């Protein structure tokens, strides 16, 4: 009885560390108590979106309607999360009757120079979704 | 013959006994006074947790109203407050809230779920108060162990000071403190924020602006970096070391010191309230002074969160 809840905490927090090491889950999220421990958080990671179609190649600003799904993918950029973003982009483009044959997502993160603090954006993962 | 009003005594574990034997106490007019039985620390801990649920409503529409409703009913009804089923339901709803937008829930939401689960289990246990106190110690201790682990071993940019150097400059929630304590002017702060804006990949400024970091600001960043590690490590040790090595007063002092200092700056009052409620869960019924201190600390964290003290002090300082 006494250790069930603490054991659950250890299991979830250990999984969070494993996920942050393997699939880039942000240390701030996922129940591992890594908040206020690193600059690797939502403010300094994101997903860039490029939509391609015949006669079209366009970088999209993240529209409000898919902000949540993009935030989830930025926090944990697994294939599944990124595919969900791509599918949401395709659905939105189709709603506006715009052609789309491929969605390219780039998950990036910011690094800060140790001495000058100067930031730089570093692409970490590229996910290409060909529209079926 | 005067009618005798039997009132239910909130937080009394012996309401039945009180109702059966009220004649022992009468006031000057001869009216019966309700017999007061000691308030149990465990009840205060659960009540503070319910209040914390109300102060920061959480979750999507299909759990938020239910969490709020159960929390209100818990505060109104001592029976529901001590219901394992109700706390189990809260734990399940918190888990649903976490799963619904995984991985975006904050860490204290997880801790709240474990705590609600621990309360539910303790209410089914034979030694309920001991079980709750033990779970509380382990939960707080382990949460702080992981927090220290992240800061000292897993994070690449905490111990070298970068986290607080950048956060003090860019996070608007720390802007007033950076000016008040760090000695930055508002112009420097704005220029620093501009200098720290991200450029597109591969882009580079011809003449990148430098970042103004007065000595006081660097000192503040260092103090925050090492201070938070020291405080969190102290709480972890105090909670997890066995009783002969660490007395109960040391344990509570460490937790109260952490909450009293950290939540003055950290904009996560919900975490503070939860830790304080869990701290009360470790008290025994004789520690009434500490219980009052915890309740006062809970109120202080409310004031920390609601009063923009650094902004007001900054305005006063600048006249």
- Average per-residue pLDDT for chain B: 89
Taking CB atoms and an 8 Å limit, are B156 and A119 in contact across chains? no
In order, the DSSP letters of B276-310 are HHHHHTT--TT-HHHHHHHHHHHHHHHHHHHS-HH
Burial label, B307 (beta-carbon count in 10 A; 0-12, 13-18, 19+): exposed
Taking CB atoms and an 8 Å limit, are A34 and B228 in contact across chains? no
The count of C-alpha atoms lying within 13 angstroms of the C-alpha of B91, restricted to the half-sphere facing its C-beta, is: 17
CB pairs under 8 A between A and B: 150
pLDDT at B293 over 50: yes
**A84 touching chain B per CB within 8 A:** no
Taking CB atoms and an 8 Å limit, are A6 and B155 in contact across chains? no
Chain mean position to CA B91: 17
- Cα distance from A83 to chain B (closest Cα, Å)? 16
Chain mean position to CA B10: 24
Specify the 3-state DSSP secondary structure of A129: strand
Query: Which residues does chain A have within 8 Å of residue B195's beta carbon, measured at their own beta carbons?
Result: 118
Taking CB atoms and an 8 Å limit, are B115 and A5 in contact across chains? yes
* Domain ranges across chain A: 1-38, 39-130
Per-residue pLDDT of chain A (132 residues), as tens digits, is 789 999 999 999 999 999 999 999 999 999 999 999 999 999 999 999 999 999 899 999 999 999 999 999 999 999 999 999 999 999 999 999 999 999 999 999 999 999 999 999 999 999 999 999
Virtual torsion, Cα B50, B52, B53, B55, nearest 10 deg: 130
pLDDT at B144 over 70: yes
Cis peptide before B209 (omega within 30 of 0): no
pLDDT at B22 over 60: no
Q: What are the tokens at A4?
A: 């069930």
C-alpha triplet B249, B251, B252: angle, nearest 5°:
65
Taking CB atoms and an 8 Å limit, are B110 and A12 in contact across chains? yes
**CB-CB: which of A9, A33, A120 is closest to B150?**
A33
**CB-CB: which of A28, A37, A39 is closest to B166?**
A39
Q: What are the tokens at B163?
A: 């986290």
**CB-CB: which of A34, A35, A110 is closest to B154?**
A34
Q: Within 10 Å of residue A18's Cβ, how many Cβ atoms?
A: 13
**CB-CB: which of B162, B201, B211 is closest to A108?**
B201
Interval A9-20: pLDDT, tens: 999 999 999 999
**CB-CB: which of B201, B208, B268 is closest to A118?**
B208
Query: Closest-CA residue in chain B for A8?
Result: B114
Distance separating alpha carbons of residues B272 and B137, to the nearest angstrom: 15
Burial label, A89 (beta-carbon count in 10 A; 0-12, 13-18, 19+): buried
Distance separating alpha carbons of residues B281 and B197, to the nearest angstrom: 45
pLDDT at B37: 52
Q: Are B53 and B90 in contact (CB under 8 A)?
A: yes
Burial label, B68 (beta-carbon count in 10 A; 0-12, 13-18, 19+): middle
Mean pLDDT (whole number) for B130-155 = 98
pLDDT at B18: 42
Interface test with B, best of A3, A4, A8, A9 (most B CBs within 10 A): A9
pLDDT at B38 over 80: no
> Is the interface score ipTM higher than 0.90?
yes
Specify the 3-state DSSP secondary structure of A119: strand
pLDDT at A47: 97
**CB-CB: which of A32, A38, A117 is closest to B146?**
A32
Q: Are strands A56-60 and A102-112 parallel, antiparallel or unpaired?
A: unpaired
**A33 touching chain B per CB within 8 A:** yes
Mean pLDDT (whole number) for B266-272 = 93
User: If contacts are CB pairs under 8 Å, which of residues 42-71 in chain A contact chain B?
Assistant: 43-44, 68, 71
Distance separating alpha carbons of residues A62 and A66, to the nearest angstrom: 7
Mark residue B30 as left, alpha or beta (left: phi above 0; alpha: psi -120 to 50; beta: remaining). Answer: left
pLDDT at B208: 83
Specify the 3-state DSSP secondary structure of A128: strand
Buried b (16+ CB within 10 A) or exposed e, B153-190: ebbebbeebbbbbbbbbbeeebbbbbbbbbebeeebbe
Taking CB atoms and an 8 Å limit, are B211 and A116 in contact across chains? yes
Taking CB atoms and an 8 Å limit, are A31 and B110 in contact across chains? yes
- Cα distance from A93 to chain B (closest Cα, Å)? 24
**A109 touching chain B per CB within 8 A:** no
Give the sheet arrangement for strand A102-112, strand by strand.
A56-60, A45-53, A102-112, A119-130
């Amino acid at each position: 009885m006494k250790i069930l809840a603490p054991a659950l905490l250890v299991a979830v927090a250990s999984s969070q560390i494993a996920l942050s090491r393997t699939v880039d889950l942000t240390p701030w999220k996922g129940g591992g108590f890594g908040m206020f421990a690193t600059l690797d958080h939502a403010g300094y990671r994101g997903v860039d979106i490029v939509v391609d179609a015949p006669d079209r190649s366009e970088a999209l600003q993240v529209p409000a309607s898919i902000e949540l799904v993009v935030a989830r993918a930025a926090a944990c950029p697994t294939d599944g999360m990124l595919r969900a973003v791509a599918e949401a982009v395709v659905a939105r483009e189709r709603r506006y009757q715009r052609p789309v044959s491929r969605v390219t997502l780039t998950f990036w993160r910011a690094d800060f120079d140790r001495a000058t603090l100067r930031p730089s954006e570093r692409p970490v993962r590229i996910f290409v979704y060909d529209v079926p | 013959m005067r009618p005798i009003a039997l009132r239910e005594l909130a937080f009394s574990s012996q309401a039945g006994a009180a109702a059966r034997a009220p004649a022992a106490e009468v006031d000057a007019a001869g009216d019966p006074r309700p017999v007061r039985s000691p308030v149990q620390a465990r009840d205060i801990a659960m009540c503070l947790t319910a209040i914390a649920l109300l102060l920061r409503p959480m979750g999507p529409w299909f759990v938020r109203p239910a969490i709020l409703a159960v929390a209100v009913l818990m505060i109104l009804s001592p029976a529901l407050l001590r219901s394992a089923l109700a706390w189990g339901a809260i734990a399940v709803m918190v888990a649903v809230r976490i799963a619904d937008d995984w991985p975006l829930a904050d860490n204290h939401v997880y801790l709240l779920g474990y705590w609600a689960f621990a309360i539910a289990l303790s209410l089914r246990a034979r030694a309920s108060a001991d079980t709750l106190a033990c779970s509380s110690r382990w939960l707080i201790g382990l949460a702080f162990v992981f927090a220290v682990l992240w800061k000292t071993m897993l994070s690449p940019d905490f111990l070298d000071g970068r986290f607080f150097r950048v956060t003090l400059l860019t996070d608007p929630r720390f802007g007033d403190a950076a000016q008040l304590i760090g000695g930055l002017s508002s112009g420097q702060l704005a220029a620093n924020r501009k200098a720290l804006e991200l450029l597109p990949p591969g882009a580079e400024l011809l003449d990148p602006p430098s970042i103004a970091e007065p000595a006081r600001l660097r000192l503040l960043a260092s103090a925050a970096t090492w201070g938070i590690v020291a405080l969190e490590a102290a709480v972890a040790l105090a909670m997890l070391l066995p009783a002969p090595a660490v007395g109960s007063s040391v344990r509570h002092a460490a937790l109260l010191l952490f909450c009293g200092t950290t939540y003055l700056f950290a904009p996560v009052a919900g975490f503070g309230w939860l830790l304080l409620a869990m701290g009360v869960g470790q008290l025994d019924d004789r520690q009434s002074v500490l219980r009052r201190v915890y309740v006062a600390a809970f109120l202080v964290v409310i004031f920390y969160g609601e009063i923009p003290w650094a902004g007001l002090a900054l305005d006063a300082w600048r006249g």
